[in-house]
Amino acid sequence: MDMVNINTIYNSEVCPMQRIFVCSALILGLNVSAMGIQTTFAQTEASTAVSPASQATQSLQFHQLSPNIYWVSGGVGNVGIIIGTQGVIVIDTTVSTDTAQQLLAGIKKITDKPVTTVILTHEDADHVNGLTAFPANIEIIAQKNAAKNIANSPTFANAAQYLPNHLIDQQETIVRQGITLKLLHWGPAHTAGDLIVYLPEQHTVFTGDIFTLNQPRTLIHYNKQGSSEGWVTNAQNILALDADTFVVGHGDVQNKAGIAQRVKLVSDERNQIKTLVAQKKTLAEIQKIVGDPPPTPAGSPPPRFAPFSEVVYRELTEKK
């Protein structure tokens, strides 16, 4: 199957009934061409469509990108698995110990090699809280700002053996288990401690939550020194990498065109908000113009993130 972007299918020129049928089949994990049921360990050609609803079930699904690279959905945040010569590299660890135990059990079904390295793309709980299920004292890599916040988290108050022990400042190229990995930090974006994992020989990038494509807008932790301006810089740099497969923090694997579409959407909206701020528009006026945030149903829980429009507005108006 070619790279799947369900939004492309939904907005395409196929007739409404065909469109609904194809999208429904993809969301349910069906093979559209053969109408067979997708197994839990399903090989893909750089993509498998997984709905946000299936992610919430915490029933993990392993998707094979190449002979030794997988991505895993269903643990809230996506996970990367790279099988090397003698061991396994895991990128992010899911949301909890229980879910990470499912992850490790799944890894044992595809290789008998041990996990030797964990790389954390940032500090959010849905990406790091599974650490305590992993073998103690393995190599744990994180950007130094993320590592500081993880060390201050109550989750790891009595678990020093699971704190990051290999810290990245800006960039570092490492070789683990015969795999070359470029670890990249271009300043604050989703958080102050984002780390992009780039496999140049495999033309594959693990972006972390710089790209959360199960959401209509990008998510910025303003309270964790995230930055919309930094997001644009990071996103443009990711797009410039020699890669054709992008495993995002939440949502489906993307190709370069899908990433480019998101970069343009967010950059254009930020520029629009910047122009409105220069025109002395209030935040309320700006939000009405750009339609952010969208109306929420009555009784909905409060959002975890400030709206993108508010983040940009505050960056441009608050004194530093």
pLDDT in tens, 261-305: 999 999 999 999 999 999 999 999 999 999 998 776 777 676 678
pLDDT in tens, 223-256: 899 999 999 999 999 999 999 999 999 999 999 9
Q: What is the average pLDDT score of the chain?
A: 84
Spans of all domains in the chain: 1-38, 39-266
Percent above pLDDT 90 for the chain: 72
pLDDT in tens, 80-95: 999 999 999 999 999 9
Q: How far is CA 16 from the centre of its chain?
A: 31
| CA neighbor of 91 nearest in space, from 130, 58, 52, 137 | 130
Q: Which fold would CATH assign to domain 39-266?
A: Metallo-beta-lactamase; Chain A (3.60.15)
Q: What pTM was computed for the model? A: 0.81
The lowest-confidence range among 40-49, 55-64, 171-180 is 40-49
